[in-house]
């Protein structure tokens, strides 16, 4: 049990970090998509 | 340049952690009193130290914004708070598991644990408050004030196990009282450096996103004006 909980603790730490990285990637994709959309919209309006 | 720095810092931090884990799990005996669970110190304490470091960076960013009204500082603050929250959560979760084995309880409302939980909740409030304020300057100003206010809790967390008249479940500061064996110091210090490196890489990624988000806001304004 002693060793099990050590594994759980380290696993939890990795899951939290990887979860945050996953959220960062998703948010980054959303932002990149949004800026591409707005830029094309701006170009269209300027034409 | 920033992309390169992110990759180098992230890779270096990950390599340090992987090497350290190999040493911790396969090359070290358990702690004399606590057994294997004592090795939780290599993630629990470095996570707390990394968390406080990035909260500190957030406070510097917040003061910088209040003094200059430059949004770069606001971006630095919010990026640092998010990363600090990740480390604070690791600290709380691993501490709870450690406590479950050593104390026989998952949680207790003593000063140390409660003040750390409060710190986490205050900065969670900071992150939840930001999207609720539409105007950028107002949002950054309110965030900066809240970040500085919340940081007042950090000395309480640190002092909670050092005050003589406070009884706490949490042990006295092990590091300062020679409680850590000399052979345990290198992996402990490596874990702190690795968390700093990974944390800095994550802050840089978030900073890039904040810069793009500001660009999005300015394009929206431009579109609105046309």
Interatomic CA distance for residues B55 and B76, integer angstroms: 11
Decide: residue A29, CB within 10 A, 0-12 exposed, 13-18 middle, 19+ buried: exposed
User: What pTM was estimated for this model as a whole?
Assistant: 0.93
Q: Is the Cβ of A18 closer than 8 Å to some Cβ of chain B?
A: no
Interatomic CA distance for residues B217 and B136, integer angstroms: 9
Q: Between residues 106 and 145 of chain B, which touch chain A (CB distance below 8 Å)? A: none
Q: What is the tens place of the pLDDT at every residue in B84-123?
A: 999 999 999 999 999 999 999 999 998 889 999 999 999 9
Specify the higher pLDDT residue, B31 or A32: A32
What would the two tokens of residue B172 be? Answer: 């006295």
- Measured between CA atoms, the residue of chain A closest to residue B220 is A38
> For residue B197, how many other CB atoms are within 10 A of its CB?
21
How far is C-alpha B37 from the geometric centre of its chain's CA atoms? 22
Q: Across the interface, do B198 and A13 touch by the CB < 8 Å criterion?
A: no
- Measured between CA atoms, the residue of chain A closest to residue B101 is A2
Tell me how close the Cα of A9 comes to any Cα of chain B, in angstroms. Answer: 5
Tell me how close the Cα of A45 comes to any Cα of chain B, in angstroms. Answer: 8
What would the two tokens of residue B79 be? Answer: 């990026």
The parent domain of residue B220 ranges over: 2-23+47-225
The reply to whether B37 falls in a domain is no
This complex has an ipTM of 0.90
Q: Is the Cβ of A13 closer than 8 Å to some Cβ of chain B?
A: yes
Q: Across the interface, do B223 and A9 touch by the CB < 8 Å criterion?
A: no
Tell me how close the Cα of B63 comes to any Cα of chain A, in angstroms. Answer: 25
The reply to whether B35 falls in a domain is no
Q: Is the Cβ of B67 closer than 8 Å to some Cβ of chain A?
A: no
Q: Across the interface, do B43 and A10 touch by the CB < 8 Å criterion?
A: yes
Domain tally for chain A? 1
pLDDT for res B13: 95
Q: Which residues of chain B have pLDDT under 50?
A: none
Distances in whole angstroms, Cα of residue B224 to Cα of each of A44, B138, B165: 13, 21, 61
pLDDT for res B31: 83
Q: Are B91 and B158 in contact (CB under 8 A)?
A: no
Domain tally for chain B? 1
Three-state secondary-structure class, residue B35: strand
Tell me how close the Cα of A30 comes to any Cα of chain B, in angstroms. Answer: 10
Interatomic CA distance for residues A18 and B20, integer angstroms: 18
The reply to whether B40 falls in a domain is no
The parent domain of residue A17 ranges over: 1-47
pLDDT for res B115: 93
């Amino acid at each position: 049990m002693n060793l099990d909980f050590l594994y759980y603790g380290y696993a939890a730490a990795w899951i939290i970090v990887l979860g945050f990285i996953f959220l960062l990637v998703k948010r980054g994709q959303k932002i990149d998509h949004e800026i591409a959309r707005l830029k094309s919209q701006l170009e269209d309006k300027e034409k | 340049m920033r992309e390169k720095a992110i990759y180098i810092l992230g890779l270096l931090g990950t390599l340090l952690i992987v090497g350290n884990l190999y040493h911790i799990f396969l090359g070290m005996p358990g702690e004399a009193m606590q057994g294997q669970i004592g090795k939780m110190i290599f993630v629990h304490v470095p996570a707390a130290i990394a968390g406080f470091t990035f909260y500190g960076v957030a406070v510097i960013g917040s003061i910088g914004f209040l003094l200059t009204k430059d949004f770069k500082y606001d971006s630095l603050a919010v990026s640092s708070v998010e990363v600090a929250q990740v480390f604070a959560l690791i600290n709380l979760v691993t501490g709870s598991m450690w406590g479950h084995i050593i104390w026989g309880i998952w949680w207790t409302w003593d000063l140390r644990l409660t003040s750390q939980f409060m710190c986490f909740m205050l900065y969670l409030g900071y992150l939840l408050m930001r999207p609720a304020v539409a105007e950028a300057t107002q949002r950054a100003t309110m965030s900066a004030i809240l970040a500085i206010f919340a940081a007042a809790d950090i000395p309480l967390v640190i002092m909670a196990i050092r005050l003589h008249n406070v009884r706490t479940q949490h042990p006295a500061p092990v590091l300062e009282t020679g409680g850590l064996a000399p052979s345990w110091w290198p992996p402990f210090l490596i874990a702190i450096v690795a968390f700093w490196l990974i944390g800095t890489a994550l802050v840089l990624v978030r900073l890039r996103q904040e810069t793009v988000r500001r660009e999005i806001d300015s394009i929206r304004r431009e579109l609105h004006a046309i």
